[in-house]
Amino acid sequence: MVYARSWRKLIICILITLKVNGLYVQITYIKSSVAKGAVCLDGSPPAYHLDKGFGSGINNWLVHIEGGGWCTNVTTCLFRKNTHLGSSKKMVTEIAFSGILSNNKQFNPDFYNWNRIKVRYCDGASFTGDLEKVDPVTNLHYRGARIWLAVIEDLLKKGMKNAEYALLSGCSAGGLASILHCDSFHALLSIGTKVKCLADAGYFVNLKEISGREHIKSYFNDVVTTHGSVKNLPTYCTSTMKPSMCFFPQYIVHGIRTPLFLLNAAYDSWQIRNILVPGVADPHGYWLSCKLDIKNCSSIQLQTMQGFRMEFLSALLGQRSSSRGMFINSCYAHCQSEMQETWLQDDSPVLDNTPIAKAVGDWYYDRRSFQKIDCPYPCDKSCHNHVFGHN
């Protein structure tokens, strides 16, 4: 009994310490947006977490968009609406801020005292969908584009309209959203605001899976069609090719005017697992062990993954510009800005002896440009390669 009581006291002290240090941030629901139809898949209000800036960062704003894939049809969206990725009713009310969202100068030296926001993702189409009609049977709301505007308008009222510096960032599907909405984010802020964007693991490439089928092209087409996303994709792209192709960054980044930093692993673990070798392309599970841990890959599988890297770089390198930042390491990873161990700590990934946090900070503040691409796997010993469980 005494032992259990001591442990409870210790846990309470740890939780209090975490709260004092600002590591856990309370949720904010935008209830006023419901009347405008800016709602999650299930009709609940959108939400975000805001940790207010302080000191010299009080007028600086970092808006970070949560990731979480997409839903492609009624069936997958119905499943999604009963999770935190489709309903704010299912979201935890407090989340930990770390990495690029940390309030600790040691771990996030360039953005620690900014107003830091994590936008919760509950629409399933990287905030691009907008269909007015709601099927009364499913009660699915495809309103991602409205959510995006509702969040930004709410933040503008809370002081972002006076921003001196602003950065839009995101991870995975949120990283894609930061690309798709980069220029519109810039346009909604004051003329004098210094605005840039960061896409972490958001550069999804159009390539065939190992059996030769165009799985991801069909997948993104279903997303765009289901959510009615066409009108919210860049017109300079949709006017020249099939609109769903404009969900791929390689076909739109050339038209983005706002400075953009691309942070990505050349062996992006999500893309290897879902674009190069989706489950339907490997019915017998020959790739299962390899996809769980890159160290388990055979020489033939590694050769295939090296081919993926070359196609990824080919889709990337044609999009260089002087204002663009680039940190492309040779890790088996996905999303490296949110986790402290990959963003900035003693053993975090580096390129040119530079950790991700410093590369992004130097680029944002124009201290130096940063466009680095790693040598092929397994040359980089600083990687934190993902190891997945069988589930």
If one counts every other C-beta atom within 10 angstroms of the C-beta of residue 296, the result is 13
Catalytic-residue membership of 334 = yes
What is the pLDDT, as a whole number, of residue 23?
Answer: 78
Q: Has residue 391 been placed in a domain?
A: no
If one counts every other C-beta atom within 10 angstroms of the C-beta of residue 370, the result is 21
Q: Which residues of the chain have pLDDT under 70?
A: 1-22, 319, 390-391
What is the pLDDT, as a whole number, of residue 390?
Answer: 64
What is the pLDDT, as a whole number, of residue 193?
Answer: 98
Query: With contact defined as beta carbons under 8 Å apart, do 383 and 329 qualify?
Result: yes
What is the pLDDT, as a whole number, of residue 18?
Answer: 41
Listed in sequence order, the residues at least 6 apart from 369 whose beta carbon sits closer than 8 Å to its beta carbon are: 322, 325, 363
Listed in sequence order, the residues at least 6 apart from 97 whose beta carbon sits closer than 8 Å to its beta carbon are: 22, 23, 24, 25, 49, 51, 103, 116, 118
From the candidates 42, 154, 200, 268, give the one annotated as an active-site residue: 268
Q: Has residue 87 been placed in a domain?
A: yes
Q: Has residue 4 been placed in a domain?
A: no
Q: Has residue 7 been placed in a domain?
A: no
DSSP-derived secondary structure for 294-330:
GGG--HHHHHHHHHHHHHHHHHHHTT--TT-EEEEE-
Q: How far is CA 210 from CA 31, 218, 308, in A?
A: 46, 15, 10
Count structural domains, the chain. 1
Category of 69 on φ-ψ map: left (φ > 0), alpha (ψ -120 to 50) or beta? left
Catalytic-residue membership of 268 = yes
From the candidates 102, 172, 229, 269, give the one annotated as an active-site residue: 172
Query: With contact defined as beta carbons under 8 Å apart, do 107 and 340 qualify?
Result: yes
Q: Has residue 218 been placed in a domain?
A: yes
Q: How many Å is the Cα radius of gyration of the chain?
A: 21
Domain containing residue 153: 27-373
Q: Has residue 9 been placed in a domain?
A: no
From the candidates 334, 348, 380, 386, give the one annotated as an active-site residue: 334
Listed in sequence order, the residues at least 6 apart from 378 whose beta carbon sits closer than 8 Å to its beta carbon are: 330
Q: Has residue 41 been placed in a domain?
A: yes
Listed in sequence order, the residues at least 6 apart from 216 whose beta carbon sits closer than 8 Å to its beta carbon are: 204, 206, 207, 209, 274, 275
d(CA 174, CA 99) in angstroms, rounded, equals 16
Residue 74 sits in a domain whose CATH number is 3.40.50.1820
Q: Has residue 50 been placed in a domain?
A: yes
Catalytic-residue membership of 321 = no
